Amino acid sequence: MPVKLGTNDLSRHVIILTGATDAGFNPKRLILPARNKEKGNNLLEYIKSSNGNSNNVEIWEMDLADLQSVKNFANKFINEVGELHILINNAGIWNNKEIIKTKDNLESQFQVNHLAPFLLTLLLLDTIKKSASVELPGKIAFTSSRSQGYGKIDFDNLNLEKGAYFGPFHGYANTKLMNVIIAQELGRILQNENITTYSLHPGIILTNISNAKGVFMEFVVKIATKIIGISTEQGAINTLYPVLSPENKETGKYYHEGIEKEPNEIANDQEVVKKLWDISEKMLKDLKLDNNCDLSRHVIILTGATDGIGKDMARILAGFNPKKLILPARNKEKGNNLLEYIKSSNGHANNVEIWEMDLADIQSVKNFANKFINEIGELHILFNNAGIMINNQVIKTKDNLELQFQVNHLAPFLLTLLLLDTIKKSVSAELPGKIAFTSSGAQRKGIIDFDNLNLEKGAYLRPLQGYSNTKLMNVIVAKELSHIVQNENITTYSLHPGVIQSNIGHMNSGISNFFLGLFVKMYEITSEQGATNTLYPVLSPDNKETGKYYHEVLVK
């Protein structure tokens, strides 16, 4: 028999509901996060038309597929509202057998269904604790699924690093089991805090949760829903009933369509529970780029900022308000466009300057370095980010050097040597120096052929071999520099940011760019995530390593 909601007095409750549907109990304040402004406004209109008003209901921006968005939401909520009684983590997504990455470079089901709600809950936990009392207890709920019953926790494939599972619901089921585990563990942790926790299967409902699927799976889901599905209203009641029922004093329990049930036995394995919690916390710590990164005393040079990840690196760095950010550009128009992009994104481009430099011209590099030493005279962070990719061609610079060899290796090497004394004089234990080289995953296929460094013997037959070689040179130079400056308060890095659509291969033929484009489409991440992957190891105050190679922020 379906459960029913009684008359609930929520007039003193502040509530957050992700993946929102309804607002009929007139709470003190109901915050409904939405990643899409238009959908949020439509929801508000729906609530008004259904209830006659939407008093005390607010739509706030948040995207669970963007951890920074979650942090921004939580910070705003703590500062502007400051009290919370009920948090319902209801939003979710199902991806069938696809692997779709978020801007944080995480598998989207794992992030949206588990890691982002886990983060949101942790960020708001102190606020709930302060707001809750015996008279007005706190509630934290996670919308799980009956599929949790056949989920498992594969610690070697949490983020689908090994690829998608064969079963169409397997990855989804795993994340729904994570909801059960987190709710249960939270119940244990908060047992003396006047807060109860829940995980809930609302029933089978046709919703937009599977909007990323193929036609066949959509058909199967619709047929199954027609046979055993329930209405969205009953699903909403099934979710709310255990949370709002004044008779329900249980905590950490799993509810199947409003009725308490035993969950997957894995949820009772304390070793698994602790490991999932610890790994989730560590992932959040490792993946975050600190909002409060203080660069106010740093002078920074970033090459390759007019395109690709460099453009987003420049925007992010400028947002941290460095003492001075110098962005070399060989093209004046592109440099000015970059400055406008930074201004429009951050509201200002304070202390950001575009200087002329062309890595394909050794004299230009020397002129830039001399001007910098004479006019500025201090440097704390040097990002050698610029690069070019040429396939099966030999293109010479005005210095009669092969273009990739010069732009990717020799010119950044020269720039670093010319500025090294300036960095040494500028840094201290309190304000260390950083020198980074943007390499590539292609470095693994690189070789150092001393008889053909400059492609004197001609281009390699293997596609991208010349490019791979220069990216390996970046790794080698970063590592050797770390030995040379090991007692100078300077750390060095080489980094593969991830596969990103950029202008790096603009000089290639149409057929080369076609196949490169196909490869990028298979593995690409956003430019913003590539920028974050490049900046994080360098700017993270917790990272004391030097000379290491980072593959999408992980040491490899």
Task: Judge whether 172 counts as a catalytic residue.
Answer: yes
DSSP-assigned letters across all residues of 346-379: HS--TTEEEEE--TT-HHHHHHHHHHHHHHT---
Phi-psi region of 160 (alpha: psi -120 to 50; beta: other; left: phi over 0): left
Q: Angle CA(385)–CA(299)–CA(476) in degrees, nearest 5?
A: 35
Q: How far apart are CA 243 and CA 258, in angstroms?
A: 9
* Half-sphere exposure of residue 285: CA atoms within 13 angstroms, side-chain side: 9
User: Pairing relation of β-strands 195-201 and 138-143?
Assistant: parallel
What's the DSSP call for residue 251? -
Q: How far apart are CA 463 and CA 39, in angstroms?
A: 46
CA-closest candidate to residue 86, choices 142, 43, 39, 47: 142
Catalytic residue among 46, 150, 165, 172: 172
Q: How far apart are CA 205 and CA 209, in angstroms?
A: 10
Q: How far apart are CA 148 and CA 254, in angstroms?
A: 10
Report CA torsion sign: 417, 422, 423, 424.
positive
User: Pairing relation of β-strands 554-555 and 548-551?
Assistant: antiparallel
Strand partners, 402: 396
With helix as H, strand as E and coil as C, how does 410-439 read? HHHHHHHHHHHHHHHHHCCCCCCEEEEEEC
Annotated active-site positions, please? 172
